[in-house]
Structure 1
Amino acid sequence: MELAQEQQPRALLVDGMALLFRGFFANSYGGYIRKTNAGLPTNAVYGFVKYLLDACKVFQPTHIVCCWDMGSTTFRTGQYAGYKANRPEAPNELLPQFDLVKEVVESFGIPNVGVAGFEADDCLGTLAKMYREHAEVFILTGDHDMLQLVDDRTTVVIMKKGHGNYAVYTPQFLLEERQLSPAQIVDLKGLMGDTSDNYPGVRGIGEKTALKLVLEYGSIDGILANLDSLSKSVRTKIEADLEMLHMSRDLATIRCDAPVELEWERCLWVMDRTSVANKFEELEFGSLMKLIG
């Protein structure tokens, strides 16, 4: 896959778990799980490949990296034992596909990145910060928490329902759609918590009240500086949960200083078709061959 010499550098940072889980559930409807003749489940990897190649076609990257979680124990679980404690176990058919998908990514010549003790989000945030000096950065994910990473050089692409359907968030679009700045995404989560990640924020304050407060006072710091201006009910709730408010804001903050080292040149997107075709043949992905030319 040769690149036009005049193309401006563009990095695609892929949230591997988001694509893999989406691929699994999109390709297991009706209870049918795609498997090789030897019985190896491949439905999630199959979906992952389709999503990845579609994004490459749409966003035309010159460089690609794929980031992964490295287990459930991170510095956030050290801060708050309940963090993500409500997550169900991965389906049995998905388990062998965690390693398999990384083999497929390697066959494309794309680096796999993950750091023990950190989440894929932190790796994505760190790489976005590193690479924004070299290129326009696009982060491909399904996770709206990533919107805090949007800036003038970093675009967050949220995968929506339906193949090839994306919401493309620049600072301008984020402001138009949600009336929020990227930093305010974190403040909103600090106040209202996150049921998916299992931290509570301020008990009794939901999304509607949290949004109203953030829009009115700009940030959690702005709210705390104006506690006397709040209704007695809201003020009482915040004062009763100050420690959890600060912790929830910290849990919601994506770290952009994770110990990730990956040279820019290693991410160059030049696909070795033979390598990919061999992997597709091994996994019996004949129907995907047309996608690699």
Structure 2
Amino acid sequence: MDNNNVMLIDGMALLFRGYYANSYGGYIRKTSAGLPTNAVYGFVKYMLDAISRFKPTHVICCWDMGSKTFRTEKYDGYKANRPDAPLELVPQFDLVKEVVSSFNIPNVGIAGFEADDCIGTLARKFESDDTNVHILTGDHDMLQLVTDRTRVIIMKKGASNYAVYDAQTLLEEKQLTAAQFIDLKGLIGDTSDNYPGVKGIGEKTAVKLLLEYESIDGIVANLPSLSKSVKAKIESDLDMLHLCRELATIKCDAPIDCAVEDSLWRPDPDKVREKFLELEFNSLVKEISAFHSVVA
């Protein structure tokens, strides 16, 4: 199985990026019947670009399944700051899954868990079968999943612009190991996910503490050695620190299964063409013969 290279796609990350990249100036791409398709169009462009660049043998797309998860049960405020999705995006949530299915790519999601947890679980499962994994996302939280066999591809601004992280790149660029990323989030919180971390501790201080004491456990065990102000901040927010670490941790044992053999990247061009014509993606229809060479 060593030649297998599975790409796990963070579906929402690509879909939201596709929406905002294709709604500038207020123009939203729609079919002649008035169905908005701008986000799905962007999603397909991003997905095909990444597949042609990283040449996976297998592809799986993971999705969030609603806003209630085990994290919102632990902490009411989790992601409570997120605005509602734009109206034109709402009908595209189901539509994009139809498009993914037209490529014969499995759509994976499970109620009560986030796409991150599905991705983490599948990455660990495939790694144990000696398979290489690429995770395609825009979310730096995924960096905690980097291992010898799993790389995280962060989509950056602009087309075909990626930062690829393996364990070595992570240490060189961020000074931290994958596991320390979880503890970093525990210490500083995450404004986009709306959990606070320790009040008054910023990234610079957090990284310094982790470089010295390796982990939150190491920091807590050495509280007497810390400066008076840092010690006071951590002591007054100790429960929140542990909760935030828990919220930041991607679960790698979600009750999910998707066999690698069900995700072989071998789309049927006719099936895809039919879907593209239905959505009036005429410029993409012309590209089908080009991406056919990606799958051949």
Separation of aligned partners in 2, 1:111 and 1:237: 46
Residue in 2 that maps onto 1:74 = 69
2:206 aligned to which of 210, 231, 235: 210
Q: Structure 2 unaligned runs (5+)?
A: 290-296
Over the matched positions of the two proteins, sequence identity in percent amounts to 70
Is 1:11–2:6 an aligned residue pair?
yes
TM-score (norm 1): 0.97
Separation of aligned partners in 2, 1:23 and 1:270: 24
What letter corresponds to residue 204 of structure 2 in structure 1? K
The 8 Å contact of residues 143 and 158 in structure 1, kept in 2 or not, is answered as: yes
Is 1:42–2:43 an aligned residue pair?
no
Aligned residues: 288
- Equivalent position SS for 1:287: helix
Residue in 1 that maps onto 2:292 = none
Is 1:139–2:135 an aligned residue pair?
yes
- Bigger CA drift: 108-117 or 255-264? 255-264
What letter corresponds to residue 107 of structure 2 in structure 1? N
Separation of aligned partners in 2, 1:290 and 1:201: 49
Is 1:65–2:65 an aligned residue pair?
no
- Equivalent position SS for 2:87: coil
1:243 aligned to which of 229, 232, 239: 239
Residue in 2 that maps onto 1:197 = 193
The 8 Å contact of residues 2 and 131 in structure 2, kept in 1 or not, is answered as: no
Is 1:161–2:151 an aligned residue pair?
no
Q: Which runs of 4+ in 1 moved over 6 A?
A: none
Separation of aligned partners in 2, 1:169 and 1:189: 18
Separation of aligned partners in 1, 2:143 and 2:162: 14
Residue in 1 that maps onto 2:285 = 289
Deviation (angstroms), 1:204: 1.1
Post-superposition CA distance 1:225-252 (Å, at most 9, x none) = 1111111110001000100000000000
- Equivalent position SS for 2:6: strand
Separation of aligned partners in 2, 1:134 and 1:176: 25
The 8 Å contact of residues 53 and 291 in structure 1, kept in 2 or not, is answered as: no
What letter corresponds to residue 135 of structure 2 in structure 1? I
What letter corresponds to residue 51 of structure 1 in structure 2? Y
TM-score (norm 2): 0.96
Deviation (angstroms), 1:292: 2.1
Q: Structure 1 unaligned runs (5+)?
A: 1-5
Residue in 1 that maps onto 2:176 = 180
What letter corresponds to residue 209 of structure 1 in structure 2? T
What do you get for the CA RMSD once the two structures are aligned? 1.0
The 8 Å contact of residues 155 and 169 in structure 1, kept in 2 or not, is answered as: yes
- Equivalent position SS for 1:38: coil
Deviation (angstroms), 1:290: 3.0
